[in-house]
Structures are given as C-alpha cells and as structure tokens.
A and B are shown apart, each in its own frame.
Chain A
Amino acid sequence: MIGAVAICTASLGCQPEQDGESTRELSLGISPAAANPTPKESPTPKEHPTPATGEAPGTSDEGPIKKPLYPRGKTYKAEIDWDAASAYKPKLDASTLSTEDHDKLSKAQMPVLLPSDNALLEKVTHYSVREHGYSASLAPQGHHIYVAGIRTVHEYPQIELDKAGDKLLEQPYRISRTHQIVTLSFSRFGVGYTIDVECAKPMDDTRCTEDGYIEKLYESLALLDTRGGTP
C-alpha cells in the first residue's frame, strides 16, 4: 500500500497531507470545520463562494477539511400497498406452518413472503418478527437461506448514484455477492425484501457460484396470508 494524498485523524477530520502539525486544540475535539475554515479549495460542487471574512489565518491554501456527516433523512415505517399484496399470487398454504409460527408471522406489520416449496419450509430453523420487519432462517442440506422483509426505511436524500447505480434500481431485483454469500434484494408492496444463500462449500456449490438458484427462490416466493396482522 502506498500513501494517499489525504489523511484523516480521529478528531481532525480529513485533510491533505501538509507540513504543519495539527494543533493540540483540534486534537481535543474542536470541530476543524469551525476552527480552520477552508475557503478556497473546498470541494463545493455548486461553486458556493467563499465568505470574505472569518477565515483562520494561514489556512487559505489548505484543502478541504471534512468530518463525518450524520444522516439528515428520516427513518420511518414504509406505507404498505396492501391492495397489491392482496392481489399477489401465489399465496402460501398456511397449513404448512405450525399454528405458533403462523401466529408469530401474523404479527409482522408487513406482507410476509416465504419460499413456497414445502420441503424448504420444513427446514426453517427460526422465524423472527420485530418492529422493523421479519426474517426466516432455513438450513437445508449443504446451505443456508435467509429470507427477510424490512419495513423501516432510512431516507438519505443527499445520496446520489451514478448512471450505473441508477440503472440497477430499474431492475426488478439486484444480486450481489461477497465471500460467496449471494444476496438478492428487491422492493415490493412499498417495502424491502432480501434473500441470502450461503453454502457450506462456497467455492464449489453452484447455488452460490451462480445466480440460478437464488433467482428460482425469488420466483418461488409466496405471500403468507397474515389477516389480522394488517393494520
């Protein structure tokens, strides 16, 4: 690894490397943005002008000082399109679930999607229902499956994607993969869903090295009738 053009310290934030030592005061938590405004080199995408006064001496040639940004957006519960959910097919045969599991899932304040394959449902090891959504953990032979719904939305209005990112959002679902765990993400009924597949032998199992298996799981999802759980 070679040195980068900028470096960040815990309290100083990120600045270009320079000769001068940071002050003790800054290292003790004073906002560098406040203490050392960086007027001329700031990465102002809209070419916001530099205030004419209030500059700290000797800082005009420094690059941008940046600090962690805390999300401005709201966190809220998504409004659910229950009409679309009612019209959705296939429906899951509720008899494949125990009364206890059905009752539990009925408390999810969102449409519950699960694999429709009865053989897979028999391999569920745990259902979780929580304020933010639900999940089902399955452990069929040689791999694990995780199906989850997330109702809570984190809004990040400042986020901008490039064209490739925007194009991804136009797709009905996205597949990502890290360390061979495959994730399929999609939105439906106004809320978010995810399917993960993890293989016991990740390098050799086509369920993880290829997309076909997780796509079939996605296509097989059925809606559990959770009447009584709808608001």
Chain B
Amino acid sequence: MKTSKTNILKGACWAMLAMLALPVAEGNAQEFTYNPPGTLVPGSGTGREDYTVYVPDMRYPIETAPSFPNSQVWGRGGSQGGGGGQCDAQNYSYPWWDNFCETRSWDVPMCPGGKGHQGQDIRPATCEKNVHWGVAAEDGEITQIGTYSVYLEGTASGTRHRYLHMEPSTLVVSVGDRVTKGQRLGKISNAFGGTPTTIHLHYDLYQNASPMGPSYVPTYMSLVTSYERLLGIPQEPCAVVPAAGGVVDDGGPCFRLKGNVASWRTEEGPGEGGGLRWTYAWEDADEDAWAEWLLDLEEAGEYKVEVHVVAEYGKSTRARYELTHAGQTEELRLDMTAGAGWRELGTFNFAAGGEQSLAIFDNTGDPLADRVQIVADAVRLTPKSNTPPPEDMGQPPTQDMGTPPVDMGSTDPGMDPDPGVTPDMGQPPVGNNTTPAADMNGGSGGDGGSASTSSCACRTVSSNGEGAPGGLLALLGLLGLSLFRRRRDDDAA
C-alpha cells in the first residue's frame, strides 16, 4: 500500500491534465454519477444487477463527453416518459440509468424473466443530430452496415459492437474497413429506417458467452469504466513485470478485489508496501470473496513465485490459490501458518505478456465458525534465468551494495513507469553483511521487517515448471555481480 500516496498524487495530476485537455462542456462541470447497474428508470422493468465489465479495455463509443445513457421510452419525450420533449434537460444530466433489461418482449437470457432490451441507449452531449461522433470501441473490422446499423467485430476481444441510429450519410467507414480504437465511424442521429426515433446511439455487445452461448451481454459497466477513462479519471494501467522480476502489491493497479469485495478488509501498516488485505476463509464449495494479482510479464521464462504472508493475518493452513501461467491454470495450497514473510509457491513457466494471474480464494475448506483468516498482500516473481536486471527501470540506483533494495515506487511518483509493480532486485547481493542464508529468507523487497520461509506450497495439478530453490544462490551471486558492475559503470559515467 505504500504506493497509494504516490497514486493519489498521480491521480491528482492526471485529473488536472484531463480537465485541461477535455473540451469544456456544461455536463463536464457536474460530477459524473451513475445509478447502479440493474437500476432502471422506475416503471421500466426489472434490471440485472451485474457489475461485470464484459469488455474491460474498450473505448467509450461516443467521441466526447458528456454523454447520457438512459431510457428513451421512459425518459422525457418518450412514450412512457410523462410529458416533455426529448431535449428536456433531465435527459441530458447525470446520473446514468441502465436500460439493458428495460421492458421488451424479446428473449434476453440474462435479464430477469428472460426478456429485455439487450443494449444501452445513449444520448450524446447535446440534443442535436449529426453533430456527435460515434467511434470504434476497439480495433476491429466493420463487417456490416445496414439501413441504420454498423457492426464492428473486435479484433482483441472477439466481441461484436453494434451501433444503431447513426446517420447513414455521415458514415466515414465502409464494410470491410479495418478501424482502430477511437476512430470515427459516423454521427449520432435518429435514423431508424424512415421512422425517426429520438437522437441517441443504441449500443450493444454480443459475445459467445458461456454458459449462455451467443448472447447480448450487459453493456452498462463496460460503458461506465470506459467513460471514466474518457473523462480522464485515473485508471492506472497494470504494469509489466520486468525481466528482472518484481513485486506486484495489493496497493497497485495490478491487484483486484473480486467476488463479494465487501468481505475484504484492509490493514494499513503491516505487510509488504505498508498494507494488506484479509478476509475469513470458509468451507463452502464456492468462493465468496477472492482477489487477483495480474501478472503481465515482459519476458517469458521460469519464475519463482512467492506470496507475502504476515503471520497475524495468515491463519489458514490450506490457503487456496490458482495460478494461471502460460496457458494453464493450477491450484496451489499454502500453509500460511508455517512461516511469515515471502513464502514460495513454486517455480513456474510464464509466457511473455498478460492473461496470467495469481488468485486467492476464501473457499479453503476452513470452517467459517473458526474465523480463520487469509491474507492477500504481495506477489514476488523472481526469474530463474541468469538474466541481469535491466539497466534502468526508472528507479534511482541502490544506495549501497550492502543495503537491501529500496522500494523506489514511493520516492518519485513522476518517474515511476510501472505503477504497482515494484522492480525487485531480489535479495541483497552476495558479499554484503548478510549471510546467503539470510538473503534467501530475509529479503523483503523493501519493508525490511519480515522474515521469510522457503517452504513450498502444495500443488494439486502438476506443472512443467518445477522450481529448484537451490539455484537461487547462483542467481543471487550473478545479481550481485551485475549490480556491482552497474554501479561501477554509473560511477564511470
């Protein structure tokens, strides 16, 4: 959690920059608020309370803010809207309203009763047609243009993004065009095959989604998160773990609380980086609360995976993890009571890139009545290879060969290129005042206050990445030599 203050500073800067960069619009003066997903305009049906972001990295489908997803039928000027016109100011104000499950008679499996609207109606900044641009939500191909529709098949996500009611004469794309995220498609209007509708963009998402099969999926939270990005509200990217390894802390953007997030607690002070999360384990077959560290690696290879355990909060003898690495997922178990500090889960093969993670779940099997705690703090990856650490991760050089690596993530917020991943130089190099054995067990990557044990987790699924802890000694020696050379080079420069 040490990086939190850093993040606050960054967030403030980003917000200020965003305010300067965005075109001034009246709606921007309001704080963006939205009704929860599944909360529909009263009388318009029963919604689905679904916080899932089905397309996590999409671009908001309208070029500029403000923008107002809400109901056309139950809004002012709509047939059920209680009077007024479509340009009523109430339609052009926050908060947003979900209308994915708004009353319709058509099959939508994800809506209560199996019926719904299957997309989201969005008003642009002003009640003017042919002014505001609809833009590509992700890189992809335009595969269909109908009388009042444009289909974009996303390259990365495999999601179909569908845009309705753009004015055909304003379209600047054709079927077969490759488009990039944010590229203009056409202007939002009221086109509806000769029978005008209100000025809005109907936008929906279609995926082959298990367990439903091919379906329209709720759009609302994907719109919320992409709109936050459009507004410049800080959403730090998850950083890449450098080839030299690093620490992914619960205080950074690569860590996510999931499931019933309200069950997690935060403790400031103890733990790697100055904070940790914990919850109680339970015996249910399904998880209630869980958490995930996203692991996006710069280089493929074998890495030792360790988790940081603080004894006061790690009480389960069978903490349950799932490691997804290089295309496979395996369950791991760890006796958190066997020792504090960095605890090894094993050595595993990782691919370069993302879609890899370590997750911890509360369904350990420990009886709920026993109040057995599990802790989620930090994960450390250490390459098994002899690759020396990169020359410059944006961190100041270590102060002294005899000093344990310093957590640079909090020293200069403006210079940290990898929020949330603290480049970890491993243990103090051989030759310092600490014995090699202490190096193995005592390197905490910064807080310096925790011990470490090297007992490995139990693995219930075999992996081809079995580790060899003894090889670390050689690695440490090379790391130390590398650091020495680097410092000598720095001095020479």
Contact = CB atoms under 8 A, between A and B. Distances in A.
Q: Do A and B come from one complex?
A: yes
Interface of A: 1-2, 4, 6-11, 14, 25, 28-31, 33-35, 37-39, 42-46, 48-49, 51-55, 64-75, 78, 125-126, 128, 130-133, 135, 137, 144, 146, 148, 150-156, 158-159, 161-162, 164-169, 174-181, 183, 185-187, 191-194, 196, 198-203
A10 B11 CA distance: 13
- Among B151, B215, B228, chain A packs the most CB atoms within 10 A around the CB of B215
Interface stretch (B100-108, B345-353, B440-448, B475-483): B100-108
Interface in B249-286: 256-267, 277-280, 282, 284, 286
B194 interface: yes
B273 to A, nearest CB: 13
Contacts of A176: 106-108, 118, 216
B293 interface: no
Contact of A73 (B141, B176, B210, B212): B210
Nearest to A171: B107
A87 B118 CA distance: 34
8 contacts: A30-B7, A35-B266, A67-B257, A72-B292, A137-B145, A185-B215, A187-B213, A201-B193
A218 to B, nearest CB: 13
Given A7-B35, A11-B228, A64-B262, A25 B8 contact: yes
Nearest to B294: A70
A69 B53 contact: yes
B415 interface: no
Nearest to B282: A48
Given A4-B39, A67-B51, A71-B54, A146 B210 contact: no
A196 B143 CA distance: 12
- Among B155, B160, B212, chain A packs the most CB atoms within 10 A around the CB of B212
B258 A48 contact: no
B347 to A, nearest CB: 23
A78 B208 contact: yes
A169 B224 CA distance: 29
Interface string B342-362: 000000000000010001001
A29 B8 contact: yes
Contacts of B155: 130-131
Contact of A9 (B32, B118, B221): B32
Contacts of A151: 208
Nearest to B111: A165
A158 B361 CA distance: 14
- Among A1, A31, A203, chain B packs the most CB atoms within 10 A around the CB of A1
Interface in B105-130: 106-115, 117-119
A31 B3 CA distance: 13
- Among B119, B148, B329, chain A packs the most CB atoms within 10 A around the CB of B148
B114 A167 contact: yes
Interface stretch (B199-207, B302-310, B333-341, B399-407): B199-207
Nearest to B56: A70
A48 B157 CA distance: 34
A180 B95 contact: no
B88 to A, nearest CB: 10
A135 B112 contact: no
Contact of A48 (B31, B175, B289): B289
Contact of A55 (B95, B158, B215, B265): B265
B228 to A, nearest CB: 5
